[in-house]
């Protein structure tokens, strides 16, 4: 008995560790990659949708609406939303799909609106197509897969899911709530061209769009040097060329390999120019990542553009220059155009660009200000809704001031908004830009506070015939007195379509502000890719058309500001003697070392080296030249002020250093060497290293000797000194004897030996040189787990399990006789057999540990769904050692278990989780003063439920920590949610969380379209004695069905209710719960309510219920239920602990006796059924007595 009690106390103390061990799998738009063995499966869970009642041609229909969805319907077919994702696949193969529908529901009596047309402003008569007379489900296939798509070296397919099927004859709508789609290899297709090196600039696009990209191994990927190709008119004057060279010099200084083409037979013909770019992409060592065209598409200094062939508008566009590989319109590089007509234009544009990037104005924080304009008068309310979504993205990014313009006077407010100084200016409206013209742009006076402008609407980007508004933005002002913007995106032709404009617009800002895309060209490409994601069938070629019509006027590689620049400090030598072949640089900011700062050293292309700092802010860059001169040092990082300095390479007279080309390695077992004789460094070898010394100085050197040293623990110096004797100026002398070092056993692939040779001579001068010695070895890491007997590779609580681990070897040397040992810090895991063996793991291969399984026992007290981390330590017979983290899930949660944890550690316990001590007990405290409470009425919240939604921000009585952030205010919305901090959003339409549908930092208590009229009110009250802050939505009603709802959010003071992470706990209580906003044929969006929480990034959180679909561990809520959100784990209550004192003793026996005699009716049968036979009777009394007396532990 004592042993059992101690075990559970121990579990309570350490179960918090599981919170950090359960990161959310990557989910993109409802899609999630499922990796089981070698299968390629994608799971999709439906998001919020709406059945809207509409009248058309005198008849009532239902229109299906779904956020972030497009459609594959053709005109005349039922309009059903479609969603899609991308999946990375092996090049040269094609695929089909197999669909497994896991959960669905049928909605009867629904007359779905047929799709009218993809043409904007369609005025024809609605016509039902042939599908409406078929007694069959439409579409027949809910999932499709595209042909392979190639985007800058990554081959992928687009998987599209229509989560609805409709039978027009029976008028039944099938809603597919959960589906699994498996990709099946079909055949072989033409192998695409794949660049030898990957571009880092494309990584954010891959990560945000490709659902399985996070699971792909990227350890061995080699990245190219960033590269820009400038396309110049052949007739630039010398003055103009000098101006362009200023821009090219800056880009080269910050680490780009810069090339340009201005040959007339190339740049004056668009086909020749595209062929030139295509050749550069396929054949250059560093193919261009960005192409910036400098010149207008007409006039004296022109570079031709393209006209689209898909529409009758023949719109202008440079997009074809970016589509180089594959039969698709996906970009292989990023584009921009610096359009100018005069030398003055060119000087202004380049001056604005250089100032923006290299020396931005710091006098005020314009970097976190924006101006958003939405004119609904012609294109509808979606122009405002689009800006509201962008506003939320800006809030997430930390913007301090967002000026919204949603009513007239338009032009004057827009001009004033730009003049105030903003980093982003966005307009959504219609042709004519609500009266805003180039004259307004030229009348701005924002100076060096230059925004990136987006005016994605009709006629703003037709640059092929006259000056478009997008061109006016970048040409405005002068180099010394700039106006307008530094870059602008506009749309060609007068035939644009609101829905596609909105997608490109939101996509640009989502890419720039959420997905970490730094350059303007890349962010525009992200917006274009959202077209294909939303409309995978490319209806009427609109995805192609709008990709073509939307163009960037500005530098493609422009690094956009989204925060006030942080200052950095850089430590490096300011003088080096000629012949020195390395420089050490350390970068820091006020808070400490600066990781992943991009450092470049440059000297007339004699020296051009770049790299990223490590976690300590350190980088060592090679110096490949022995010439004297001034080398530039430049350090950049997004939202950090660029560091610009230099160091001098000088001739001190005598300057002796290594002659790198003469380096030889001897491991042939002769002399002092011991090895395999392949001339390559391997672990365990003794190497004889011979390298000559060169006197790069202008004076002769006498009695030169070198001393080899290393700070690496891998190296033992056996023979450190070599005497080179006299070395005349400009001469090279070989080493008369080698340096001798011994390498530790089992060196990993690419180990850094950190070898430096220090040279001294009679004259007293000293110098040092770096030796680059490549090491070949193993690089072993775990890639997957196979739990024997579990198709899902899940461990079972209360049982022992065997499993295998797959190892991959990316090293150059085969690994043999590999032994692996697992450890686990979780108290819920008992390791029975901790050792496994692999006979070999070949270079660039993988292997499972055969039949030599690992074996573990999982405690039955483990919270189902928890992820535990095993540490796998492997070693080989050759002495190589490494470790990997192996994640394995334990059990699958049921309705009797808590929901979670999420990646931060929050769980949700409901009042039905009676097996856990943290399960909350419903205890209503009335605070409505009309019913005896003493709360304060938030009279400012007035919401009739018809677009009159309201929100109010109030001060908290204590600081509340939420997802690691501290808040002193909370925003309370009439629609049943609260958000930490201040929010102006009034979101009534509930979505899944986490996600971007509502405000960030949200606590969704009963998020639905609610009314506070008809006696509905919202109250707050602080219970000083119990340290609890109450928010009560009292007698409010749903807008759809007028159902009454009364519920509470209770914040617990973190100083008194402590948690392992320091985050605050909060409760939800439901006195009157009516989840009635069902999806129907009305004008309301339905989807019941949303309950859950999300963090400030909208990427982390827990959803308890949405659309009346509950988490598998969530009980269905009703009157008198409650929830607790906490980062505490929970010890499981003891069976037999009937009085909940965490002990099983005589008092529990007495309670059970009274229960069986009928004197006690408050015994929980779950804990009273000791022998688990489904009954509580005298046999349980006997079993409980045996436990208390110590005869059994169960």
| Residue 243 pLDDT exceeds 50 | yes
* pLDDT for the residue 13: 26
pLDDT per position as a tens digit, 583-595: 999 999 999 999 9
* Whether 208 contacts 85, CB under 8 Å: no
Residues for the chain: how many in total? Answer: 1194
pLDDT at 996 over 80: no
How many Cβ atoms are within 10 Å of 1178's Cβ, its own excluded? 11
Nearest to 494, CA basis, from 747, 121, 126: 121
Q: In the chain, which residues fall in CATH 2.60.40.10?
A: 656-771, 780-890
CA distance 881 to 888: 22
Residue 616 is predicted with a pLDDT of: 95
Q: Does 24 score more than 50 pLDDT?
A: no
Mean per-residue pLDDT for 1007-1030? 91
Domain 568-650, CATH 2.60.40.1930 — does that match?
yes
What is the helix (H) or strand (E) element at residue 385, kind and residue range? helix 382-396
- Give yes or no for a cis peptide into 300 (omega within 30° of 0): no
What DSSP element (H or E) covers 61?
strand 59-66
One DSSP character per residue, 446-475 reads: -TT-PPEEEE-STTS--TTTS--HHHHHHH
Distance CA 1006, CA 975 (A): 8
CATH topology of domain 227-360+367-553: Rossmann fold (3.40.50)
CA–CA distance, 759 with 688 (Å, rounded to integer) = 19
> Which residues lie closer than 8 Å to 818 by C-beta, 6 or more apart?
780, 807, 837, 838, 839, 840, 841, 874, 875, 876
> What number is the average pLDDT over the span 242-271?
97
Domain covering 656-771, topology: Immunoglobulin-like (2.60.40)
> Model confidence over 389-422: pLDDT tens digits?
899 899 888 898 999 999 999 999 999 999 999 9
- Biggest alpha carbon distance in the chain? 109
CA atoms within 13 A on the CB side of 905: 21
Question: pLDDT tens-digit profile of 532-543?
Answer: 887 878 888 888
Q: Which residue has the higher pLDDT, 419 or 27?
A: 419
Task: Report the alpha-carbon distance of residue 652 to residue 909 in Å, rounded.
Answer: 73
Classify residue 663 as exposed, middle or buried by CB count within 10 Å of its CB (0-12, 13-18, 19+): middle
pLDDT, mean of residues 714-721: 96
Region 933-954: mean pLDDT is 79
| Distance of alpha carbon 946 from alpha carbon 940, whole angstroms | 17
CA distance 36 to 784: 9
CB-side neighbour CA atoms (13 Å) of 886: 28
Q: How far apart are CA 468 and CA 983, in angstroms?
A: 37
Residue 595 vs residue 939, higher pLDDT: 595
Please tell me the distance from the alpha carbon of residue 311 to that of residue 546, in angstroms, as a whole number. Answer: 10
User: What proportions of the chain, in percent to the nearest 5, are helix, strand and coil?
Assistant: 20, 35, 45
Q: For CATH 2.60.40.1930, list the domain ranges present in the chain.
A: 568-650
Topology (CATH level 3) of domain 35-194+201-215: Immunoglobulin-like (2.60.40)
Residue 934 DSSP class: -
What is the Cβ-side half-sphere exposure of residue 166, based on CA atoms within 13 angstroms? 21
Which has the higher per-residue pLDDT, 365 or 13? 365
Average pLDDT rounded to a whole number, residues 1009-1036: 92
Rounded CA-CA distance 1161/1151 in Å is 10
pTM of the model: 0.75
The secondary structure of 1079-1132, three-state, reads CCCCCCCCCCCEEEEECCCCCCEEEEEECCEECCCCCCCCCCEEEEEECCCCCE
- What is the rounded CA–CA span in Å between residue 1067 and residue 920? 8
Task: Share the mean pLDDT of the chain.
Answer: 89
The two three-digit tokens of residue 853, written as one number: 């399984």
Q: What is the pLDDT of residue 1018?
A: 95
Q: How far is CA 463 from CA 316, 342, 470, 524, 1141, in A?
A: 7, 15, 8, 17, 77
pLDDT tens by residue, 77-105: 899 999 999 999 989 899 999 999 998 99
Task: Calculate mean pLDDT across residues 475-492.
Answer: 97
State phi, psi for 203 to the nearest 5 degrees.
Answer: -55, -45
Contact 64, 58 (CB under 8 A): no
Q: Where in the chain is the domain with CATH 3.40.50.1460?
A: 227-360+367-553
Angle at 478 between CA 473 and CA 482, to 5 degrees: 60
**pLDDT on residue 14:** 25
Is the per-residue pLDDT at 294 higher than 60?
yes
Strand, helix or coil for residue 314: coil
Helix (H, G, I), strand (E, B) or coil at 387: helix
Distances (CA, A) of 1134 to 213, 796, 919, 1130: 44, 20, 14, 12
Q: Are 416 and 405 in contact (CB under 8 A)?
A: no
Query: What is the C-alpha to C-alpha distance for residues 172 and 62, in angstroms, rounded to an integer?
Result: 12
- pLDDT interval class at 1156 (50, 70, 90): confident
Q: How confident is the model at residue 687, as a pLDDT? A: 97
pLDDT for 709 equals 96
pLDDT of residue 175: 93
Give me the phi and psi of 995, to 5 degrees please: 170, 175
pLDDT of residue 950 exceeding 90 = no
The separation between CA 309 and the C-alpha centre of its own chain, rounded to angstroms, equals 35
Helix 1146-1157 and helix 1178-1188: axis angle, to 10°? 170
pLDDT band at 35 (very low <50, low <70, confident <90, very high): low
3-state SS class at 486: coil
Task: Give the pLDDT of residue 1166.
Answer: 58
- Measured between alpha carbons, how far is 413 from 433 in angstroms, rounded to an integer? 12
Closest among 1140, 1103, 1117, 855 to 998, alpha carbons compared:
1103
The predicted-structure confidence for 606-657, as pLDDT tens digits, reads as follows: 999 999 999 999 999 999 999 999 999 999 999 999 999 999 999 999 999 9
Query: 983 is written with which tokens?
Result: 């929010």
Q: CA 937, CA 942: separation in Å to the nearest integer?
A: 12
Q: What is the mean pLDDT of residues 1019-1035?
A: 96
Predicted local distance difference test score (pLDDT) of residue 649: 97
CA-based nearest residue to 862, from 1115, 1131, 1102, 1111: 1131
Percent over 70 (pLDDT), the chain: 92
Mean pLDDT, range 833-851, rounded to an integer: 93
**Per-residue model confidence (pLDDT) at position 219:** 61
Q: What is the percent of the chain with per-residue pLDDT over 90, rounded to a whole number? A: 64
pLDDT band at residue 520 under the 50/70/90 scheme: very high
What would the mean pLDDT of 290-310 be, rounded to a whole number? 95
Query: Regarding predicted confidence, which is higher, 762 or 108?
Result: 108
Residues contacting residue 991 through CB under 8 Å, at least 6 positions apart: 47, 48, 67, 997, 998, 1090, 1106
458: its two tokens: 């009709």
Which CATH class for the 780-890 domain?
mainly beta
Residue 221 binned pLDDT confidence (cut-offs 50, 70, 90): confident
Give burial (CB, 10 Å; 0-12/13-18/19+) of 245: middle
Quick one: pLDDT band at residue 1168, thresholds 50, 70, 90? confident
Q: Is the pLDDT of residue 795 over 80?
A: yes
CB neighbours of residue 755 within 10 Å: 22
Q: Give CA–CA dist 469/490, Å, rounded.
A: 7
The span from the CA of 896 to the CA of 911, in Å, is 10
Within the chain, all domains assigned CATH 2.60.40.3800 are found at 35-194+201-215
Q: pLDDT tens digit string along 1079-1094? A: 543 334 557 889 999 9
Q: How many CA atoms lie within 13 A of 6 on its CB side?
A: 3
At 637 the three-state DSSP class reads strand
């Amino acid at each position: 008995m004592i042993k059992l009690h101690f075990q559970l106390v121990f579990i309570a103390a350490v179960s918090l560790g599981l919170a950090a061990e359960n990161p959310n799998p990557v989910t993109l738009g409802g899609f999630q990659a499922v990796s089981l063995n070698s299968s390629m499966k994608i799971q999709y869970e439906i998001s919020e949708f709406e059945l809207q009642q509409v009248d058309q041609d005198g008849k009532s229909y239902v229109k299906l609406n779904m956020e972030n969805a497009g459609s594959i319907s053709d005109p005349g077919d039922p309009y059903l939303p479609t969603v899609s994702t991308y999946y990375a696949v092996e090049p040269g193969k094609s695929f089909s799909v197999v669909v497994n529908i896991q959960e669905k529901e049928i909605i009867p009596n629904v007359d779905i609106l047929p799709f009218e047309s993809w043409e904007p402003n369609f005025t024809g008569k609605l016509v039902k197509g042939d599908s409406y007379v078929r007694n069959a489900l439409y579409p027949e296939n809910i999932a499709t897969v595209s042909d392979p798509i190639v985007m800058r070296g990554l081959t992928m397919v687009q998987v599209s899911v229509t989560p609805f099927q409709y039978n027009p004859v029976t008028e039944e709508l099938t809603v597919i709530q959960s589906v699994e789609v498996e990709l099946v290899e079909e055949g072989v297709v033409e192998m695409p061209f794949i660049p030898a090196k990957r571009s880092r600039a494309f990584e954010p696009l891959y990560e945000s769009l490709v659902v399985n990209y996070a699971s792909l191994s990227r350890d061995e990927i080699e990245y190219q040097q960033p590269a820009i190709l400038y396309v110049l008119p052949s007739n630039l004057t010398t003055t103009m060329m000098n101006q362009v060279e200023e821009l090219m010099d800056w880009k080269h200084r910050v680490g780009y390999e810069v090339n340009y083409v201005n040959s007339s037979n190339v740049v004056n013909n668009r086909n020749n120019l595209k062929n030139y770019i295509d050749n550069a992409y396929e054949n250059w060592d560093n193919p261009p990542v960005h192409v910036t065209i400098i010149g207008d598409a007409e006039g004296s200094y022109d570079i031709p553009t393209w006209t689209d062939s898909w529409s009758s508008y023949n719109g202008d566009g440079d997009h074809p220059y970016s589509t180089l590989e594959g039969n698709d319109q996906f970009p292989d590089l990023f584009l921009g155009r610096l359009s100018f007509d005069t030398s003055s234009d060119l000087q202004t544009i380049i001056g604005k660009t250089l100032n923006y990037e290299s020396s931005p104005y710091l006098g005020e924080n314009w970097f976190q200000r924006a101006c958003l304009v939405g004119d609904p008068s012609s294109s509808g309310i979606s122009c405002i809704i689009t800006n509201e979504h962008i506003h939320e993205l800006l809030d997430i990014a930390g913007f301090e001031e967002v000026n919204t313009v949603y009513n007239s006077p338009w032009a004057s407010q827009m001009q004033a908004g730009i003049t105030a100084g903003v980093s982003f200016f966005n307009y959504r409206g219609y042709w004519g830009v609500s009266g805003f013209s180039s004259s307004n742009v030229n009348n701005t006076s924002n100076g060096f506070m230059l925004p990136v402008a987006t005016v994605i609407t009709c006629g703003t980007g037709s640059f092929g015939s006259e000056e478009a508004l997008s061109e006016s933005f970048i040409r405005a002002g002068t180099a010394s007195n700039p106006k307008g913007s530094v870059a602008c995106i506009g749309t060609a032709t007068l035939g644009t379509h609101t829905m596609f404009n909105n997608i490109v617009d939101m996509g640009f800002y989502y890419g720039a502000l959420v997905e970490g895309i730094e350059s303007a060209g890349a962010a525009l490409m992200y917006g274009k890719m959202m077209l294909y994601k939303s409309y995978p069938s490319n209806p009427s070629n609109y995805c192609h058309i709008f990709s073509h019509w939307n163009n960037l006027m500005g530098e493609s590689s422009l690094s956009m500001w989204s925060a006030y620049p942080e200052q950095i400090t850089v430590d490096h030598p300011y003088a080096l003697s000629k012949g020195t072949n390395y420089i050490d640089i350390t970068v820091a900011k006020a808070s400490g070392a600066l990781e992943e700062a991009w450092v470049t050293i440059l000297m007339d292309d004699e020296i051009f080296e770049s790299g990223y700092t490590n976690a300590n802010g350190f980088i060592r860059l090679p110096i490949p030249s022995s010439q004297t001169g001034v080398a530039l040092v430049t350090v950049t990082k997004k939202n950090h002020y660029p560091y610009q300095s230099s160091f001098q390479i000088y001739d001190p007279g005598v300057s002796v250093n290594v002659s790198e080309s003469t380096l030889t390695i001897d491991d042939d077992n002769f002399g002092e060497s011991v090895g395999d004789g392949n001339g390559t460094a391997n672990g365990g070898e003794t190497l004889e290293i011979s390298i000559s010394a060169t006197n790069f100085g202008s004076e002769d050197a006498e009695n030169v000797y070198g001393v080899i040293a290393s700070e690496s623990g891998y190296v033992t110096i056996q023979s450190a000194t070599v005497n080179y004797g006299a070395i005349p100026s400009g001469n090279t002398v070989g080493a008369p004897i080698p340096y001798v070092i011994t390498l530790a056993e089992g060196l990993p692939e690419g180990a850094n030996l950190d070898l430096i040779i220090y040279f001294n001579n009679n004259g007293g001068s000293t110098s040092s040189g770096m030796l680059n010695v490549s090491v070949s070895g193993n690089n072993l890491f775990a890639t997957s787990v196979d739990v024997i007997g579990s198709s899902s590779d899940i461990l079972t609580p209360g049982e022992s399990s065997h499993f295998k681990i797959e190892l991959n070897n990316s090293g150059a040397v085969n690994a043999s006789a590999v032994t692996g040992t697992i450890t686990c810090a979780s108290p819920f895991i008992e390791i029975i057999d901790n050792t496994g063996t692999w006979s070999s793991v070949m270079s660039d291969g993988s292997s499972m540990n055969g039949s030599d399984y690992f074996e573990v026992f999982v405690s039955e007290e483990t919270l189902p769904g928890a992820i535990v981390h095993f540490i796998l330590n492997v070693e080989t017979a050759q002495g190589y050692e490494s470790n990997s983290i192996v994640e394995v899930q334990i059990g699958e949660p049921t309705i009797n278990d808590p929901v979670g944890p999420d990646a931060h550690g929050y769980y949700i316990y409901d009042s039905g989780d009676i097996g856990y001590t943290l399960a909350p007990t419903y205890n209503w405290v009335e605070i409505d003063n009309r019913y005896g409470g003493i709360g304060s009425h938030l009279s400012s919240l007035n919401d009739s439920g018809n677009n009159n939604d309201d929100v109010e921000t109030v001060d908290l009585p204590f600081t509340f920590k939420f997802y690691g952030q501290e808040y002193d205010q909370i925003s309370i919305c009439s629609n049943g949610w609260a958000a930490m901090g201040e929010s102006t959003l009034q979101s009534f339409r509930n979505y899944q969380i986490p996600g971007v549908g509502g405000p960030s930092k949200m606590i969704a208590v009963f998020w639905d379209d609610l009314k506070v009229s008809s006696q509905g009110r919202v109250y707050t009250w602080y219970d000083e004695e119990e340290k609890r802050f109450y928010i009560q939505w009292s007698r409010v009603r749903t807008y759809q069905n007028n159902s009454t709802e009364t519920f509470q959010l209770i914040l617990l003071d973190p100083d008194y209710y402590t948690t392992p992470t320091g985050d605050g706990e909060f409760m939800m209580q439901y006195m009157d719960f009516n989840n009635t906003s069902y999806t129907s044929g009305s004008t309301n969006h339905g989807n019941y309510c949303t309950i859950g929480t999300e963090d400030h990034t909208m990427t982390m959180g827990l959803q308890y219920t949405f659309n009346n679909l509950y988490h598998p561990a969530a009980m269905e809520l009703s009157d008198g239920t409650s929830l607790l959100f906490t980062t505490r784990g929970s010890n499981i209550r003891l069976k037999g602990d009937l009085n909940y004192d965490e002990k099983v003793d005589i008092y529990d026996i007495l309670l059970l006796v009274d229960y069986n005699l009928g004197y006690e009716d408050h015994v929980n049968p779950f804990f009273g059924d000791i022998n688990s036979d489904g009954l509580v009777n005298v046999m349980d009394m006997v079993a409980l007595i045996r436990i208390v007396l110590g005869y059994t532990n169960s």
